Amino acid sequence: MTFADNDIAYLVDVSPGTGTLPPRAWPPGSDAARLSLNGTWRFRLSEHAALDTGFAHEDFDPSAWDEVRVPGHWVLQGRGQGTHDGTYGSPAYTNTLYPFPLDPPYVPTENPTGDHLHRFDLPAGWPSDGGAVLRFDGVESCARVWLNGTELGEFKGSRLPHEFAVGPLLRPRGNVLAVRVHQWSSGSYLEDQDQWWMPGIFRDVTLLHRPEDAVRDHFVHASYDHDSGTGTLRVDSEPAGRVLIPGLGIDIASGESVTVAAEPWSAEQPRLYEGELVTGGERVRLRVGFRTVRVEDGLIKANGRPLLFRGVNRHEFHPETGRTLDLATMREDVLLMKRHNINAVRTSHYPPHPAFLDLCDELGLWVIDECDLETHGFHAVGWHGNPVADPRWTPALLDRAARMVERDKNHPSVVIWSLGNECDTGEGLTAMAGWIRERDPSRPIHYEGDLSCKDTDFYSRMYADHAEVDAIGRGAEDPLPDAGLDARRRGLPFLQCEYAHAMGNGPGGLAEYQALFERYPRLQGGFVWEWIDHGLAHEEFGYAYGGDYGEELHDGNFVCDGLLFPDRTPSPGLLDFKSVIQPVRMEGDGHEGVVTIRNLYDVVDLSHLTFTWSYEKDGETVREGVLDVPAVPAGGSTEVKLPEPPRRDPDAATQWTLRARLARDTAWAARGHLVAWAQLPVEYGMGAPVPGGSAPVADGARITLGSGTFDARTGTLLAVGGIPVRGFGLDVWRAPTDNDNGMSWLTGSSVAVKWRALGLDRMHHRVDAVESGTDALTVRTRVAPAASDLALRVTYHWISNGIRLALRADVEPEGVWKVPLPRIGVRLGLPAAYDRTTWWGAGPGESYPDTGSAAMQGIWSASVPELQTPYVRPQENGARADVRWLELTDGQRPLLVDGGTFSFTARPWSTAELDAAAHRTDLVAGDTVWLHLDAAHHGIGSESCGPGVLPDHRLDATRPARLAVQFSVRGSQEPRRPA
């Protein structure tokens, strides 16, 4: 068999397919009968595509075949208990590389092909009149379809709907649907998105009754005039029918326009009017949201108001079922977004399951609907042969554009069409944009990959650093070579369609981006990359990423770069993002007790929120109450006076905590849900007094200084208050984060590559002196990597009063340090029983210099396991910052650490073990709790794909550093703070 053989020529034909119906709108409901064909189907997997078609004959007996679930990806199923067991091959992850040779439109002979068979009866009462349509909502990547032995056609366009007319072929009982699905086809060249390659019928299959005079297609035009407060509705329909919106008293013919007083739709107030389109044969549900989106005066506005997108990029993903999502999961995504102050989503990089957009209409999110198109891997060959630049592919591109626009055109939430992602430039894109503008002039067009922006209404960039975004905000970006295009682009609104790469620990630098977005009107926000980690549930690894299935080419854990962990637990990055984008900002001076409250919503006033204050002393709330805040309009602000504080106490640390919560239940969160907060410090308070008085006592191999025991030869701390300590000493190493590793897989360089080359993970500690004074022990050391003359001179000064043991560690750099340090602090190993912590500081989650916007000053408790942030690929995590005191306990003899302000991490494994681990399951708790007390950390940044750590957050190694802490062990009955 060759491709020339008719039988598989369709595979590599660049045309979108044959036999399907023209695309049409997908309504949120209809009274026409429907039958879901989802369920268990017979299945046979072959290694190549050139197969006989005998299985499609009605009398074929598939009883020897296996079974798979539809919808589903066969690579995630198996003969076992429904999880991936390799029975049907494996998923494969590449970011941009095509996993097959680039020779468009040809595909490999090894082309996993899944034959699917499903027998079904029509349900009792299935109408005998009219026709029927067989609908596929998503099949990857190419399907050929037969019903009752008759071939219907074949199609490509994996995340797009395809329908066939099947009426005459149906019979009441014993229908046989045969679907041959090929993993690779010419369509694969257009679907090189950064995700797992996972073939299968992964979205619903449905049989739809189409009565005589059923709605063939309909287009809801519902605009809003913010000057008059009216909505104008026209529903075009084929065939014609009546449009009924009872709530607005609308009863008009299709094609007719009506203007009525109505409430507008927005993501903040997603007002939908329920109605129906009634034709001779069908009643189709309408959910009308009146809104007008326009790019004018260089801004994208909805209903006359400029928007600020607080967005995320969402791939469809579930750790067990891949891109097959049930309704509950889709709803959970929208609820999680709403609850984290997110107001926009880019459907990267393909139209989502249609039900997701219904949820966006209902719960309120601005949507950039993106076409199923990416040809990124042609980058590897200098874009030679790029389909979007080759007119032979234009019909396929236009087909994709049409399938997206026609399906999704009636969603008020969809405010922008996006042509696709990372295809470089080409005439195919221009053709798509032209077709879309013609068909739907009501929505602006986005595409990032063409810097000239000639086909688009936005200047869009991805991963532009803060300085570039700032320049764009000022209108001072570098010019385009073409003066005309440059002038045009300068007049366009700006979006960061991807930024703040949420891979592993991070992203850092979010707050700085948000400050820019809020400063310059032209910057209309951005979309974090990305919503969820695509880690696949894996028995051995916990969650699998690229390479875990033995792929020939893969991009490792670059597929785990989301704000949610694979199981949809919010990561610290999502909590930070929620704080950074909070739509209400409360700033002021705690001393003066005045706070400015700014309404950063685009539409609503503040009357839906209840504000409270609390006054805290040394971390404990001493008084709280309700703050009266007027209904400040969107974009407005007000000044509010805080109550008189109970009683000034300059020795105590005092602060205000202000909170804004939902005043009423909403569709996405209950009354009381926290939307925004701020803390305003009043007095910093006094640190713990520094003790002294005890004299060092040498006793053979040991020196005792008050409550501390030291090794007489090395000066190393061996015990404090009787609690054994191991491995004490300066530590500058951290298990590199994905952002520390940067894009070294591509560029060969990153801060972590430099750290490792220098040897910060294998420092040598030389003891130069152990000096016993009258009331102090001083240990002088030189800490340095092998083969280098760079060093850190570390002097440990110890004093004690018999109960408290105080350490001052002074670190002086030696030599010309060109790299920042990962951290500066001391490390000590405690018995594993010390596995509960309570601290006064930032919490409850982690914070690093440029992350942790979600962390509040307070008193927090967590077990050592709870302190670990379970990044899919283990890495530095879990630091708690701005700590005033920390208590670790075994339940008997708590160890208190206080003194200065420090950051701590406590882990049941060492940094070396964390560094060596590739998956969560590699980490096994040992007999030691490793406690790090740090004076400083290097920031996190987002260099895994984007800018590194901003200068303010670098841990400069050229400056001296100091850590001051005190240790004390108290009986469980004694008070925590010393008098």
421 binding ligand IPT? (CB under 6 A):
yes
Answer whether 368's CB lies under 8 Å from 419's CB: no
- Smallest separation (angstroms) from ligand IPT to the CB of 530: 7
Answer whether 897's CB lies under 8 Å from 965's CB: yes
Q: Identify the bridge partners of residue 374 per DSSP, sorted by sequence position.
A: 191
Q: Phi then psi for 62, rounded to 5 degrees?
A: -95, 20
Site for ligand IPT in 293-352 (CB under 6 A): 349
Reference 872, options 943, 932, 922; nearest CA is 922
Q: Identify the bridge partners of residue 899 per DSSP, sorted by sequence position.
A: 965
- Smallest separation (angstroms) from ligand IPT to the CB of 570: 19
Site for ligand IPT in 577-636 (CB under 6 A): none
Task: Find the helix packing angle between 354-363 and 394-408, rounded to 10°.
Answer: 40
Answer whether 126's CB lies under 8 Å from 35's CB: yes
Answer whether 343's CB lies under 8 Å from 267's CB: yes
Helix, coil or strand: residue 506: coil
Residue 349 or 617: which CB sits closer to ligand IPT?
Answer: 349
**Rounded to whole angstroms, how far apart are CA atoms 353 and 327?**
9
Which residues, at least 6 apart from 923, have a Cβ–Cβ distance to it below 8 Å? Answer: 874, 909, 913, 914, 917
Q: What is the number of the residue whose Cβ is closest to ligand IPT?
A: 194
Size of the site for ligand IPT (CB under 6 A): 13
Which residues, at least 6 apart from 39, have a Cβ–Cβ distance to it below 8 Å? Answer: 69, 70, 118
- Smallest separation (angstroms) from ligand IPT to the CB of 572: 19
Contact letters (x/-) for ligand IPT, 192-231, by CB under 6 A? --x-------------------------------------
Give 876: exposed, middle or buried? Use CB within 10 Å, 0-12, 13-18, 19+.
buried
Q: Which of 95, 418, 430, 875 binds ligand IPT (CB under 6 A)?
A: 95
Reference 888, options 823, 967, 773; nearest CA is 967
**Rounded to whole angstroms, how far apart are CA atoms 332 and 564?**
12
DSSP letters spanning 838-886? EEEEEESS---TT--TT-EEEEEEEEHHHH----SS--S---EEEEEEE
Residue 1 or 380: which CB sits closer to ligand IPT?
Answer: 380
**How many alpha carbons fall within 13 Å on the CB side of residue 899?**
24
Q: Identify the bridge partners of residue 711 per DSSP, sorted by sequence position.
A: 702
Catalytic residue among 374, 406, 422, 530: 422
The amino acid sitting at 242 is R
Reference 937, options 821, 784, 846; nearest CA is 821
- Smallest separation (angstroms) from ligand IPT to the CB of 531: 12
Assess whether 140 carries a catalytic annotation: no
- Smallest separation (angstroms) from ligand IPT to the CB of 447: 12
Contact letters (x/-) for ligand IPT, 150-189, by CB under 6 A? ----------------------------------------
Q: Which residue has the tokens 């019979």?
A: 171
Contact letters (x/-) for ligand IPT, 905-924, by CB under 6 A? --------------------
**Rounded to whole angstroms, how far apart are CA atoms 485 and 470?**
21
Contact letters (x/-) for ligand IPT, 456-475, by CB under 6 A? ------xx------------
Residue 809 or 945: which CB sits closer to ligand IPT?
Answer: 945
- Smallest separation (angstroms) from ligand IPT to the CB of 384: 18
Assess whether 551 carries a catalytic annotation: no
Answer whether 646's CB lies under 8 Å from 652's CB: no
**Rounded to whole angstroms, how far apart are CA atoms 790 and 783?**
9
Task: Tell which phi-psi region holds residue 317, choosing left (phi > 0), alpha (psi between -120 and 50) or beta.
Answer: beta
**Rounded to whole angstroms, how far apart are CA atoms 114 and 119?**
17
Task: Find the helix packing angle between 427-439 and 394-408, rounded to 10°.
Answer: 30
Which residues, at least 6 apart from 476, have a Cβ–Cβ distance to it below 8 Å? Answer: none
Residue 194 or 477: which CB sits closer to ligand IPT?
Answer: 194
Residue 494 or 755: which CB sits closer to ligand IPT?
Answer: 494
Helix, coil or strand: residue 517: helix
Catalytic residue among 498, 530, 616, 913: 498
Give 138: exposed, middle or buried? Use CB within 10 Å, 0-12, 13-18, 19+.
buried
Residue 13 or 192: which CB sits closer to ligand IPT?
Answer: 192
Q: Which residue has the tokens 């060092």?
A: 696
Question: Which two tokens mark 603?
Answer: 């539409």
Give me the sign of the Cα torsion angle 813, 814, 818, 823: negative
Site for ligand IPT in 517-546 (CB under 6 A): 529
Q: Which of 160, 720, 945, 957 binds ligand IPT (CB under 6 A)?
A: 945
Answer whether 936's CB lies under 8 Å from 824's CB: yes
- Smallest separation (angstroms) from ligand IPT to the CB of 928: 36
- Smallest separation (angstroms) from ligand IPT to the CB of 754: 22
Q: Phi then psi for 684, rounded to 5 degrees?
A: -75, -30
Answer whether 219's CB lies under 8 Å from 235's CB: yes
Contact letters (x/-) for ligand IPT, 342-371, by CB under 6 A? -------x----------------------
Label residues 787-818 b or e (16+ Cβ within 10 Å = b): eeebbbbbbbbbbbbebbbbbbbebebeeebe
Reference 120, options 66, 51, 54, 70; nearest CA is 70
**Rounded to whole angstroms, how far apart are CA atoms 11 and 18?**
12
Residue 556 or 926: which CB sits closer to ligand IPT?
Answer: 556
Under the rule (CB under 6 A), what is the footprint of ligand IPT? 95, 194, 349, 421-422, 462-463, 498, 501, 529, 558, 561, 945
List, by residue number, the catalytic residues.
422, 498
